[in-house]
Structure 1
Amino acid sequence: MKAIGFKKSLPIEDQDSFIEFETVKPIPGANDLLVKIQAVSVNPVDYKIRQSAAKNNVLETPKIIGWDAVGIVEAIGEKVNRFKVGDEVFYAGDITKSGSNAEYQIVDERIVGRKPKSLQAKEAAVMPLTSLTAWEILFDRIRINPEKDKGKTILIIGGAGGVGSIAIQLAKKVANLTVIATASRPESTEWCKQQGADFVVKHKNLIDEVRAIGFQQVDYIVDFVDVNQYWSAFVELIKPQGHIGSISDPVESVNIRQLKGKSVSFHWELMFTRSMFQTEDMIEQHHILNKIADLLDNGTIKTTLEEAFTGFNAENFKKAHQLLESGKTIGKIAITF
């Protein structure tokens, strides 16, 4: 089968930053699906791993990355009981295994959901990783209750990004919260409003920006950008007994002790935790993805696709990574095969 990967961590402009190659078509294990992939999307985790996985050495076998896919089940393992051959599926996969930038991929059925019927492959491909991340941080980590917590305030840092875009929708349309999102440009501000944000503020002078729209403090803060950069603002803006969640990778320590006086809870979220550690509740990702598919199909939420490339080739992956690395993308980018 054809796959796209890399042997060395190189700048994306380099000719060999991505290479096309042939490899053996994988065989599904007992709990696995073999999926013929139709479309994928790119996420920041993709370029972070591309930039670091082979920084000091050249890999013997090219590394295949990619953690978002839509495809058709071509074969199933002997213990699979949730899917059958011919089913259309979408998933984010497992960071410890070979990625989705290939013609075929094997994936554990417990982290796979049914593809939304109303969406094209490219529209569905951009949803799994960001939807799982946003759902888990809101409902599994912070444990927001849509009935009990209705009307409470949430500040979403990085509202126009991939995770921020779907977090706005879930916070507004599922959790019933008052949503304040951050954005820095007119086009990203408009995007956040389109996703359902009640208010959009600028990243800079965050405390003043939030208070200028009438909120002294907020019940929840979720960070999709940089917990170090905004930490002092979080400490000031969070309500007593509030919750802060983050997916960012701090380069410096954060002083959790600053939250003690307010009895504030802090939550880390990594979408890959369940699959990496084969947790007892790993099946939850299957259930979450099916809920997301239902929400997409009934129109409660919408795809966050903003740009798509057609053609399974190294050049399209280079273009997608260049855009993502610019830090100026809005929504998500897909590549159709």
Structure 2
Amino acid sequence: MKAVAAFGPDPEDLRDVDLPLPLAGPHDLVVEVRAVSVNPVDFKQRSRVAASDEPRVLGFDGAGIVRQVGSEVNLFSPGDEVWYAGDVTRPGTNSAYHVVDERIVGNKPSNLGFAEAASLPLTAITAWEALLDRLLVGPGERGTLLVIGGAGGVGSIMIQLARALTELTVIATASRAESREWATRMGAQHVIDHGRPLAEQVRDIFSGGVDRVFSAYTQGREADIAEVLRPQGRLALIDAPQPFDLLAFKPKSISVHWEYMFTRSSYHTPDMIAQHDLLDNVAALVDAGRIRHTMVKKLVGINADNLRQAHQEVAEGRTIGKIVISRD
């Protein structure tokens, strides 16, 4: 089968290859991949591939059609249309066929094509887990949420989920006119300047600060975030700031939580199937018109040239929404 593998850490090290067809394990699906999207984790994982390593197939978002099922599969059948974000410990979706555990796969929204659907799984899982599992927001809950990075892939879905599932008032950060407009389209009631200190801008909206913060860009913002959060507030972050001033949050007893959507699949946690359930829940929200896809650019052909281009654009950190690569 055709695939794209990383032979080293640079975008130029992505090359077209031919690989054997994958085989399904007991809980696995073999999926004919129809579309993928590119996330920061793709180029971060690529940067760790040394020239002396075995070539690695990347890709952590996919939408396609189930072609084979393992002996213990009970959630899907051949012919089902699915979407998922894969498992960082296994080969990725940048291939014609891909093997994935059924417990982290959902039924694709019926009103989206494969390309549009591929823009959502990783960011939807990340945002859902951050909002409900880390920030402990309950359905219909009121309060205030600051989303740092409101025009990015995860921020775009975090805003939408908060508006669809809760009564939270959402403030998003954005830096450019087009990213401010995008965050507003996603549902943010207020948008503030990502490039200026956040606390003073938030106080102009809510004098007492906010209850919760979700951050995709935390580096150097610890004191600002601690100032903007109310006492006993909660912070969920997805980046890896180095260094990280955890003590900034102690005086207000702020709880700090990392969200990493590959935790369940990497460690085969007992609740691994929760990702299947939440993807089906998100699909229902999409089909009901309450969540929109975040594809802003589509490239045709899952090949090395297109993946190099997408990796470079995402790595620049100025993309809005998601770049998707479809088979045709």
Supply the AA of the counterpart residue of 2:24: P
Using the TM superposition, give the Cα deviation of residue 311 of structure 1 relative to its aligned residue in structure 2, in angstroms: 1.1
Contact 1:201 1:209 survives alignment (8 Å) = yes
Using the TM superposition, give the Cα deviation of residue 58 of structure 1 relative to its aligned residue in structure 2, in angstroms: 2.5
Contact 2:223 2:248 survives alignment (8 Å) = no
Q: What residue number does 1:33 align with? A: 29
Supply the AA of the counterpart residue of 1:103: A
Contact 2:33 2:63 survives alignment (8 Å) = yes
> Which of 289, 297, 306 matches 1:307?
297
Deviates more, 1:178-187 or 1:61-70: 61-70
Using the TM superposition, give the Cα deviation of residue 53 of structure 1 relative to its aligned residue in structure 2, in angstroms: 2.2
Supply the AA of the counterpart residue of 1:197: A
Q: What residue number does 2:115 align with? A: 122
Using the TM superposition, give the Cα deviation of residue 322 of structure 1 relative to its aligned residue in structure 2, in angstroms: 1.6
Supply the AA of the counterpart residue of 1:208: E
Q: What residue number does 1:44 align with? A: 40
Supply the AA of the counterpart residue of 1:26: P
Contact 1:131 1:292 survives alignment (8 Å) = yes
1:47-58 aligned at under 5 Å gives the runs 47-54=43-50, 57-58=51-52
Deviates more, 1:172-181 or 1:71-80: 172-181
Q: What is the TM-score of this pair, normalised by structure 2?
A: 0.97
Q: How many residues align?
A: 326
Q: What residue number does 1:79 align with? A: 72
Using the TM superposition, give the Cα deviation of residue 319 of structure 1 relative to its aligned residue in structure 2, in angstroms: 1.2
> Which of 139, 147, 172 matches 1:146?
139
* Alpha-carbon separation, structure 1, partners of 2:220 and 2:252: 21
Using the TM superposition, give the Cα deviation of residue 20 of structure 1 relative to its aligned residue in structure 2, in angstroms: 0.3
Supply the AA of the counterpart residue of 2:262: F
Q: What residue number does 1:5 align with? A: 5
Contact 1:3 1:101 survives alignment (8 Å) = yes
Q: What residue number does 1:205 align with? A: 197
- Do residues 21 (structure 1) and 17 (structure 2) align? yes
* Alpha-carbon separation, structure 2, partners of 1:317 and 1:123: 17
Using the TM superposition, give the Cα deviation of residue 51 of structure 1 relative to its aligned residue in structure 2, in angstroms: 1.5
- CA shift digits 1:214-248 (9 cap, x unpaired): 443100001111x2321101111111121111011
Supply the AA of the counterpart residue of 1:207: A
Using the TM superposition, give the Cα deviation of residue 156 of structure 1 relative to its aligned residue in structure 2, in angstroms: 0.4
- Do residues 189 (structure 1) and 180 (structure 2) align? yes
Using the TM superposition, give the Cα deviation of residue 318 of structure 1 relative to its aligned residue in structure 2, in angstroms: 1.1
SS of aligned partner of 1:228: coil
Supply the AA of the counterpart residue of 2:303: N
- CA shift digits 1:167-221 (9 cap, x unpaired): 0101112122100000000000000000000000012221122122344310000
Q: What residue number does 1:131 align with? A: 124
Contact 1:169 1:301 survives alignment (8 Å) = yes
Contact 2:198 2:225 survives alignment (8 Å) = no
Q: What is the TM-score of this pair, normalised by structure 1?
A: 0.94
> Which of 274, 286, 300 matches 1:284?
274
Q: What residue number does 2:215 align with? A: 223
SS of aligned partner of 1:131: helix
* Alpha-carbon separation, structure 1, partners of 2:44 and 2:174: 22
* Alpha-carbon separation, structure 1, partners of 2:255 and 2:155: 21
> Which of 154, 157, 163 matches 1:163?
154
Contact 1:228 1:254 survives alignment (8 Å) = no
- Do residues 172 (structure 1) and 167 (structure 2) align? no
Contact 2:233 2:254 survives alignment (8 Å) = yes
Deviates more, 1:168-177 or 1:31-40: 168-177
Using the TM superposition, give the Cα deviation of residue 18 of structure 1 relative to its aligned residue in structure 2, in angstroms: 1.1
In structure 1, the gaps of 5 or more residues are none
- Do residues 250 (structure 1) and 207 (structure 2) align? no
SS of aligned partner of 2:221: helix
Using the TM superposition, give the Cα deviation of residue 7 of structure 1 relative to its aligned residue in structure 2, in angstroms: 1.1
Q: Identity across aligned pairs (percent)?
A: 46
- Do residues 266 (structure 1) and 260 (structure 2) align? no
What is the RMSD computed on CA atoms of the aligned residues? Answer: 1.1
Contact 2:6 2:49 survives alignment (8 Å) = no
Using the TM superposition, give the Cα deviation of residue 261 of structure 1 relative to its aligned residue in structure 2, in angstroms: 3.0
* Alpha-carbon separation, structure 2, partners of 1:48 and 1:249: 12
Contact 2:2 2:19 survives alignment (8 Å) = yes
